[in-house]
Structure 1
Amino acid sequence: MRTIKLLSGMLLVTLLMSACSSVSVATDYDRHVDFSKYKTFAFYKPGIDKAEISDLDKKRILRSIQYELQNRGYRLSENPDILVSIFTKEVDRVSVYNNVGWGWGYYGYPYWGGGYNSVSTETEGSLYIDLIDAGKKELVWQGKGTGYLVTNGNLAKKEERITEFVKEILEQFPPVSTQVAVVQNGQ
């Protein structure tokens, strides 16, 4: 009984921690590519130049990507196996709260009305990381992270948020190879 309580407690903590992730990630890849052949990477400047964000934010994103890929054993190279490109999208989300209703006023008398309206705006951004086969010049993997951005001028939080976006996206790379299953089935 004690073991069951311990396991259910651990499960609850795991679920809560996974629910706290504030970056929604989606990935897509070419199932016919053997990702184990990729060992080196470089940044694809023409694609990166098209990203509509500040050069400082581009540098932050590229440093995070380089860090994550190198931690996975990939090397930065002038003769790369894969090219890394990025692009971004941004949408302002406006929320209007109408706080009008009834309540208890002075001396315990009920009232209707009062209240206030409030408007808040948050910026939701998407970061796309594209990995391109350098030899074939074909997209082989794409990761997209979507979440709210830090835009209040706090540079430490901004850098932390960018790092979180990149880390969450690249946790899905390289994908589990489906090439083995295809070969085993004789296809």
Structure 2
Amino acid sequence: MSSTTTKVLYPVDRDYHCDRYFWDKDVFSYQCKKGERVFYAKRGLIKAEAPPTEDLERLKEHYDVLLLEADGARGMDLKLHSERDPVVPEFTTATLAIASFSVFGKRLSEHCFGCESLTDRLIDEETYSFLLTHPEGIQKRMKGTRAILFNQAERADRSKIENIRRLFPDLPLFFGSLEENVLIERKIP
């Protein structure tokens, strides 16, 4: 089961790789087949919107896994959260944070939502360290089993992966590519 706790693009604008899509309470009477992927959200004016939290929690009875998008970065590679996000339900058992690892040397203000005021800073290992330790950064509101995936890591120099891994020996860090379906490095404490 896939859904959101905020808003996401409609399936016509983004492929969620689901077999069935629901926009109403019919999702509760649907008998899902083994391996079938189901999407559920409310229709909004511009984007698909979060169903009530009670609905999402109730869906735990119907599906083995609920994959809930809790906060996007408006198409940007990195993000500092605002005080209201990410929206992570209390019943969350695992959290996966995803951040791009392909923007080294680029301007932080142009590639990090929430960092617009940092106009001259270039993205480097120190930037990732900042985002991993900042109270509004990558780890904000993570619950349950935690993992951080640095996506597009195949585009970065291997030494950068090693540097981040060394700086954060106690974090469950993964470096890979969602597009290429490749895991380059993982570090589980």
TM-score (structure 2 length as normaliser): 0.21
Structure with the greater alpha carbon radius of gyration: 1
Higher strand proportion: 1
Relative contact order (alpha carbons < 8 A, sep ≥ 6): 1 or 2 greater?
1
